[in-house]
Structure 1
Amino acid sequence: MKKLLLLSLALAVPVLRAADYRIAVIPKGTTHSYWKSVEAGANDAAKELHVDIVWQGPLREDDRAQQISLVQQFVASKISAIVLAPLDEVALRGPVLAAHERHIPVVIIDSALKGEPGRDYASFVATDNRHGGQLAGEELVRLLGGHGKVVLLRCMEGSASTGDREEGFLAVMRAHPQIQMLVENRYGGATTGSAQDAAMNLMDKIREADGIFCPNESTTHGMLLALRQTGLLGKKTFVGFDAAPQLLQALAKGDIAALVAQNPRRMGYIGVVNAVKALRGEPVEAHVDTGCALVTRENRDTPEIKKLLGL
């Protein structure tokens, strides 16, 4: 009788299978090609692991309120897990802690969140962004021969990923006393248009500069358009970040001297894989570096770089 009772209770409890997992993947934005690569990686993992992906994020990469609202909505809907690229390392902490309290695993991708991976959220999967900024800085110093005037157009305040890149870049500049920073505290904003406007407003300094660095896709593209608009394309040593098609085309033409490329497809893939591991109660690596590399006209056709770029 006791065995029959236990059997009936076991049958009454639903067993959550992989096919029942619904994982929300929330990027910083949905317009830049970088995020389309993240989505492709997330979909690769979803097909491999037989889980459902809900891809939803803000249209603009400065809409913190919408991203917070999305996380809150998914938590309330009892989504299985969340993969999140936080727009703000502080503002998204509360919603992520709320998910944690409801036993909804959260994997942070792309940009850091205040807290401890493995304790406050399941895992942090991202580029070593400070290293990426250092790669850009070292290449710009090399191209300038160790001296010259430089403009940095930052992305936006509160973004941990681009902030780390900017600080990595500036650390290299400070180690070279013959490099003079003309601009280092101006922000381009979250869109190509806002970055182009910011660059146009800095044009007097840009004309004076020998080198330029921009830390993400939107600022690099916006600066590219501003240089084109003012006839300065190819006349400044310009190092950017990310490998959108239009930026790779500019690299091929010599309008951009170098790009630091990430691996967003791998980031999206591992983000979902780690979310599924957390749901299954399997060990999850607390911190995963998805890698980055300097791309130049000389190395862009090598097997290693083509693999990184998904070509």
Structure 2
Amino acid sequence: MRTRVAALAAVFIATFLAGACGSSSPAESGKVTIAVIPKGTSHVFWQSIHAGAEKAAQELGVEIIWRGPLREDDRASQVAEVEGFITRGVSGIVLAPLDEAALVGPVGDASRAKIPVVIIDSGLKGSDYVSFVATDNRKGGSLAGDALANMLPKGGKVVMLRYAEGSASTLDREEGFLEEIGRHTNIQVLSANQYGGADVEGAYKRGEAMLHGFRRPDGSLDVDGIFTPNESTTLAMLRVLADSGWAGKVRFIGFDASDTLVKGMSDGHIDALVLQNPVNMGYLGVKTMVEHLQGRPVEKRIDTGVQLVSRDRMNDPAVQELLHPDLSRWLKP
């Protein structure tokens, strides 16, 4: 009799815990289902996040649903995704908020629905989340500022093309860069208030307009150094420099990696790239959520790593893994 009662109690507890992880569909299936919502889905960076999330899902035996806006400035779409997954009753949400303020309400809604949220990549105002798993972005910007200053030992003039308002991750990079550059009194910041935006074409137009404002009468550029804080602005600036005949004639540090950017560095058109570890970020985002759902304690802030890589380090095996991650191991065609 005691054995039967114990068995029934175990079934009740298991059912209760499953229900606590989400609502009807995940609980009924008995499968932990985690929604992973990126800022966008087009850039290589987000594909790498996706691969890391899939890697964790396969290792830990959970299901992930990958869905997010196509464009990284589509706030309404990302808000709708979060609200949709709340209604669906997933076990948890891993979210890269494209706006530090606009997603506060939806994340609060998830918390009130007893659906935990892990934030990745970019910070969120408020505290209705389990953990923040991301790059130390201020450090990344500082690394870029220090490297660019060292490339200009006699001083010079520099510009920065910002990414987008409301993006906490790139704001930290931009502020870290400006803070470090500000330590060097022989370096003048000519422009640091222009925003490239979420897509490469828009960033190209704004970057072109910015640089052409510093064009000398002879066609040369009155700028010695450039910093761009993410993949889209770096791709855009690389094109602007190539199309204007300035590639390789100005020191240029970008952020993130793609085949085009790696080739740009190999060709001498980019001096260095600040590299995150997006595969690790996606992996740890899902892993942290699973640990939380299991009732295990998790850190409120998890650093996924950042480093600056110049051409002379491109062939290091560890760097190659960051420059050319094998995403096909985890992502199906």
For the superposition of Structure 1 and Structure 2, which TM-score range results when normalised by the shorter chain?
Answer: over 0.9
Cα separation, 2, equivalents of 1:230 and 1:25: 40
User: Which of 185, 188, 194 is the aligned partner of 2:202?
Assistant: 194
User: Which of 186, 189, 197 is the aligned partner of 1:181?
Assistant: 189
User: Which of 54, 59, 65 is the aligned partner of 2:76?
Assistant: 65
Give the C-alpha shift of residue 243 in structure 1. Answer: 1.0
Matched letter for residue 222 of structure 1: A
Q: Provide the TM-score with structure 1 as the length reference.
A: 0.94
User: Which of 82, 87, 93 is the aligned partner of 2:93?
Assistant: 82
User: Which of 84, 101, 109 is the aligned partner of 1:98?
Assistant: 109
RMSD of equivalent CA atoms: 1.9
1:121-136 aligned within 5 A: 121-136=129-144
The CA deviation string for residues 241-265 of structure 1, in whole angstroms up to 9 with x for no partner, is 0011110110001000100000000
Cα separation, 2, equivalents of 1:142 and 1:11: 64
Matched letter for residue 39 of structure 2: K
Is 1:55 equivalent to 2:66 in the alignment? yes
Give the C-alpha shift of residue 303 in structure 1. Answer: 2.9
**1:226 aligned residue:** 240
Is 1:293 equivalent to 2:307 in the alignment? yes
Which moves more between the two structures, 146-155 or 158-167? 146-155
Cα separation, 1, equivalents of 2:271 and 2:35: 37
User: Which of 40, 55, 58 is the aligned partner of 1:44?
Assistant: 55
Contact 1:19 1:52 in 2 (8 A): no
Contact 1:133 1:167 in 2 (8 A): yes
**1:274 aligned residue:** 288
Which moves more between the two structures, 280-289 or 21-30? 280-289
Which moves more between the two structures, 222-231 or 23-32? 222-231
Cα separation, 2, equivalents of 1:97 and 1:130: 26
Is 1:204 equivalent to 2:213 in the alignment? yes
**1:172 aligned residue:** 180
Query: The residue matched to 1:176 in structure 2 has which SS?
Result: coil
Give the C-alpha shift of residue 19 in structure 1. Answer: 6.2
Give the C-alpha shift of residue 194 in structure 1. Answer: 0.8
The CA deviation string for residues 115-157 of structure 1, in whole angstroms up to 9 with x for no partner, is 24xxx21110000000000000011001111510111000000
Contact 1:261 1:294 in 2 (8 A): yes
Matched letter for residue 237 of structure 2: M
Identity of aligned residues (%): 51
Give the C-alpha shift of residue 304 in structure 1. Answer: 3.1
Is 1:152 equivalent to 2:163 in the alignment? no
Contact 1:43 1:269 in 2 (8 A): yes
Contact 1:19 1:50 in 2 (8 A): no
Query: The residue matched to 1:185 in structure 2 has which SS?
Result: strand
Matched letter for residue 214 of structure 2: K
Give the C-alpha shift of residue 307 in structure 1. Answer: 3.6
The CA deviation string for residues 227-281 of structure 1, in whole angstroms up to 9 with x for no partner, is 1111111111111000111101100010001000000000000000011111111
Matched letter for residue 82 of structure 1: I
Q: Provide the TM-score with structure 2 as the length reference.
A: 0.88
Q: For structure 2, which runs of at least 5 residues remain unmatched after alignment? A: 19-26, 216-220, 327-333
Matched letter for residue 265 of structure 2: L
Query: The residue matched to 1:246 in structure 2 has which SS?
Result: helix
Query: The residue matched to 2:123 in structure 1 has which SS?
Result: coil
Cα separation, 1, equivalents of 2:283 and 2:46: 12
Contact 1:210 1:237 in 2 (8 A): yes
Give the C-alpha shift of residue 226 in structure 1. Answer: 1.0
Paired positions, count: 308
Which moves more between the two structures, 12-21 or 84-93? 12-21
Cα separation, 1, equivalents of 2:60 and 2:147: 40
Is 1:107 equivalent to 2:100 in the alignment? no
